[in-house]
Structure 1
Amino acid sequence: MNIAVIKPLHTAIRKDVLACVVTGLVFFALPEIDIWVSKQFYDGGVFYLRENTLVTTIYHIFAKIHFAYLLVFLFALAVLSIVKNEAGAKWRKRLRFLLLVLLLVPGLIVNVGLKDNSFGRPRPVHIEQFGGQAEFTPAFVYSGECAKNCSFVSGHAAIATFVIAFAWMFGSRRLFLAGLFAGLAVGMVRIFQGGHFLSDVIFSLWVVYFGTLLLAHQYRFSMSCKNEGPIT
């Protein structure tokens, strides 16, 4: 399976930007999509897969996996600090990129900027349609019914999609597709639990995609080739 080579950032009309805008317009025009999808996993007053063993295992793994990433990256950087050859410099550059993406995109942008300080969107489990007390709020509409750790966007989907940073680092389309699949799969787990709407998951992937793209551009990593380029 192949995907189009991602175009330079200065391209006038990028297909990825267009696709993101179209996705946003769909959810803005048809917000009931979110309710319909969540209803497929709600019965008898509960999200019936919420306590499923596999679902809860995936939930707990991706709630903590960022700590594992952080420790591994910092340890590897410390070890490589004593390696003075070109290979050591190359890997230090790669690890700095991964660390920056991890901290800025799933960390700062998603979990601090969007979930805690944006639309205040209540989660599915908290709205009237699913036994809660809050009103449903469409994507991109300010609610204020949630003060912190809100529904838009999904932190779990974001950290799962973080795999695409490795795709840019190695110039691997397969890793890119694996990252998108991981983000969607973990995002679906959160939908099963009533923790997020479909739009929360989809736009979590878009945020990680564009955030990683911008940082990859700064590090001169490209999806179109193996990244053995300038070491800085």
Structure 2
Amino acid sequence: MPRLDLSLTGRWLLAGWIAAVALFCGAPSVDLAISGLFWHAGAGFDVITNPLWEWLRQRLWDLALIVLVVAIVAMVRAFAKGRNVWGLPSRAWGFVVTLYLLGPGLIVNGVLKAYSGRARPAFVTEFGGTKLFTPAGQFADQCTRNCSFVSGEVSAAVALAVALWLASVLWSRIERWQRLYLRAVALFIPAFVIVQRVATGRHFASDAVFAALITLTLAWGLYALFAGQLPRRRNAAGAPGGRC
């Protein structure tokens, strides 16, 4: 796997976290203001009514699951045979599988969505519901399962985008236009999912932003691990440490 500039990407991630926390935690009403752009009294979240949006959302979710299954199969084959599978090394497949399982799987759906207790926009009193609005990052009791904070679909979309971007880097036999196409698709997928989830009242903007940041930060750390870029332990003499 090619080396990643961990310092540069880490600074960008840190800047994203600082901006998101300052915006959504410092001014919680921003969430309500953004969701309010897509809500009308008596009609609800009716800005996006074209069924094509929902159809595309479902197909992207299916694609994310398909990529996970393919990655698991490819990872097992790559480790068993000791060679690349479908143009990617075992480390790359292992990275993708681990990102999916830890990001959208464990952290987002297994912990945050299960225990945050944050009601979705369509269910809060400001938008005709009966639940209280909960600021981003705070745990509450306004939801018992599959809660709003954070967005599982955005997390899965970002994981899918990372996988596609990695493929565009590692697939050496594709043409330049194909590489650019893969990267354009990788950028489009999470952008579309974010807009769709917020505009339909299923998530607040902060749910989407923090889901993306969590998944990207996890991808950053996992890439350093799978690419062998973690700092090496040094012994007392200053030389890289090894096994006894």
Is the pair's TM-score, using the shorter chain for normalization, greater than 0.5?
yes
- 1:123–1:151 Cα contact (<8 Å) kept: yes
Alignment partners' CA distance in 2, 1:191 and 1:68: 24
What pairs with 1:1-232 in structure 2 (closer than 5 Å)? 5-7=5-7, 14-43=11-40, 44-49=42-47, 51-80=49-78, 83-85=81-83, 87=84, 91-117=89-115, 119-162=116-159, 163-168=161-166, 171=169, 179-220=186-227
Amino acid corresponding to residue 206 of structure 2 in structure 1: S
Partner amino acid for 1:7?
S
Structure 2: runs of 5+ lacking an equivalent: 171-178, 230-244
Q: Distance in 2 between matches of 1:145 and 1:184?
A: 28
- SS of equivalent to 2:137: coil
Indicate conservation of the 8 Å contact 1:164/1:178, yes or no.
no
Paired AA for residue 154 in structure 1:
S
> Offset at 1:58?
2.6
- How far residue 176 of structure 1 moved from its aligned partner, in angstroms, is 6.7
Q: CA deviation at 1:191?
A: 1.1
Looking at structure 2, the residues matched to 218 and 81 of structure 1 have their Cα atoms a distance apart, in angstroms, of 17
Offset of residue 133 of structure 1: 0.2
Q: Deviations over 1:188-215 (max 9, x none)?
A: 1011211001111111110111011110
Cα distance change on mapping 1:23 and 1:213 into 2, 3 Å: same
Query: Aligned equivalents of 1:178 and 1:65: distance in 2?
Result: 12
| Cα 1:144–1:105 shift into 2, 3 Å | same
How many residues are aligned here? 214
TM-score (norm: length of structure 2): 0.76
Paired amino acid for 1:212:
A
Query: Residues 215, 145 of structure 1: CA spacing in aligned structure 2 closer, same or farther, 3 A cutoff?
Result: same
Quick check: which has more Rg, 1 or 2? 2
Contact 1:59–1:190 (Cα < 8 Å) also in 2? no
Query: Structure 1: 5+ residue runs without aligned partners?
Result: 223-232
Letter in 2 for 1:58: L
Deviation of residue 62 (structure 1)?
A: 3.7
Give 1:116's aligned amino acid: A
Contact 1:169 1:221 in 2 (8 A): no
Contact 1:171 1:221 in 2 (8 A): no
Question: In structure 1, the residue corresponding to 2:55 is in which secondary structure?
Answer: helix
C-alpha displacement at 1:65, in angstroms?
3.4
Q: Return the alpha-carbon distance in structure 2 between the equivalents of residues 56 and 183 of structure 1.
A: 14
Aligned to 1:196, the other structure's residue is in SS state coil
2-structure distance, mates of 1:73, 1:28:
36
Distance in 2 between residues matched to 1:154 and 1:221, nearest whole Å? 30
Q: RMSD of the alignment, in Å?
A: 2.9
CA deviations 1:90-121 (Å, max 9, x no partner) are: 6222111111111111111111111112x211
